[in-house]
Structure 1
Amino acid sequence: MDLARREARLRELGLGDMPDAQFDAFATQLAQAAGAPYAMVNFITGHQFFAGLHTPSPGQSGQSGPDAGPEVSRIMSRDHGYCPDVLNRRKALVLPDVYAYPRFASNEVVDLIGIRTYAGAPLIDERTDTVLGTVCFVGTDPRGKETGRDTLQLIKESRDELMRLIYQRTGGGPR
């Protein structure tokens, strides 16, 4: 079972349901590179856990108080968002405008935090061929389809960089 293998491998690597300052910094760098308000390092077990999380501060959005945008928790149901699709597909997914894809437009996060764009890639452990989770960024404004290739390249490069970081930290890299 993939879930049991993923949970076991995350435990072996010392990863999982703990916020991580290094992953938060990674998410912030990704959000800046993507020009997106949100970015996550997401380990998926019975739920999604954002070990790395970047959200806009009230000053970033130019708003404060109740209109500053919704607060994003580090825990999200496996039914929400697009990362579970990336996990199952084992391939990167880029949605320049989620409204253009009926299958994805009705996802609860569209209304919850106003997601209009998404890019995510699976974090595949080369040693065990286990998908540990995803790295992703989301935006609240649609992007043109012409940005798709650049976005795909950015999310794949980010995935590769993050896996190198994980292997450096844990010594659990490819054989």
Structure 2
Amino acid sequence: MIPYGTGRPLLTPVDQDGARRSARLRILGLGERADASFDSFDAFADRVAEVTATPFSIVNFIDENRQFFAGLHTPAGIRDGADLAAAATVGSRYLARDHGYCPHVLVRRKALVLEDVCDYPRFAGNPVVDGIGIRSYLGAPLIDRTGVALGTVCAVDTVPRAWGRAGLDTIKLLAREIVVQIERREASSP
């Protein structure tokens, strides 16, 4: 862990692959802004929420500085992220790089299951716990054909959840599905 100037430990892991990922996201046209071409990511986030029965789900691309919610499902159904305002920039789909658990998944390159984030001191103090009320997290990395972890797909809840092995298998399967969509998108672009 790297200390902040205040002596408080930095809980977000150091990302050694950030520059490579950012370059790959630019090539793919992902991670910068939401437009009509991102509707499929929103639809996929809706599907993740339905399959996992969670109030929030996200297809998240992470560059060196921030997270971008290309696909977003929220309880209120607001696509611009306004109902994440306590943790995100109001009216946007961006979140600071050190908020949430997706940066951990990205660096680990493995799925992460947190049945109750408050059971883990490293995760309990994350700004999304108080800002959004997140108590449970299930996420998997989006690793493309080049081996770059582009981001994550995740499902989160405001109550503790016993995800179990079935939840882990489900989020891994969903991650593979969205990677296939990203690769098809790349193959069909001019």
TM-score band by shorter chain is 0.7 to 0.9
- Any gaps of 5 or more consecutive residues in structure 1? 59-69
Residue 8 (structure 1) aligned to one of 20, 23, 30: 23
Residue 32 (structure 2) aligned to one of 17, 39, 44: 17
**2:49 is equivalent to residue 34 of structure 1:** no
Counterpart in the other structure of 2:161: 143
Letter in 1 for 2:143: I
Hey, which bits of structure 1, 4+ residues long, moved more than 4 A? Answer: none
Looking at structure 2, the residues matched to 143 and 132 of structure 1 have their Cα atoms a distance apart, in angstroms, of 26
Higher helix share: 1
What do residues 30-68 of structure 1 show as CA deviations (whole Å, max 9, x unaligned)? 01110100001111011000011110128xxxxxxxxxx
Letter in 2 for 1:113: I
- Any gaps of 5 or more consecutive residues in structure 2? 1-15, 85-91
C-alpha contact (below 8 Å) 2:76/2:83 kept by paired residues = no
**Alignment RMSD:** 1.5
The alpha carbon displacement at 1:12 in A equals 1.4
Question: How many residues in Structure 1 have an aligned counterpart in Structure 2?
Answer: 158
Looking at structure 2, the residues matched to 12 and 75 of structure 1 have their Cα atoms a distance apart, in angstroms, of 20
What do residues 137-169 of structure 1 show as CA deviations (whole Å, max 9, x unaligned)? 11001113xx32111011101000000111111
Q: How does 1:48-127 map to 2 (within 5 A)?
A: 48-57=67-76, 71-72=83-84, 73-127=92-146
C-alpha contact (below 8 Å) 2:52/2:155 kept by paired residues = yes
Residue 71 of structure 1 aligns to a residue whose secondary structure is helix
Letter in 2 for 1:166: I
Looking at structure 2, the residues matched to 132 and 78 of structure 1 have their Cα atoms a distance apart, in angstroms, of 14
* TM-score calculated relative to the size of structure 2: 0.79
Structure ranking higher on relative contact order (CA contacts 8 Å, 6+ apart): 1
The alpha carbon displacement at 1:126 in A equals 2.3
The alpha carbon displacement at 1:99 in A equals 1.1
Looking at structure 1, the residues matched to 116 and 129 of structure 2 have their Cα atoms a distance apart, in angstroms, of 11
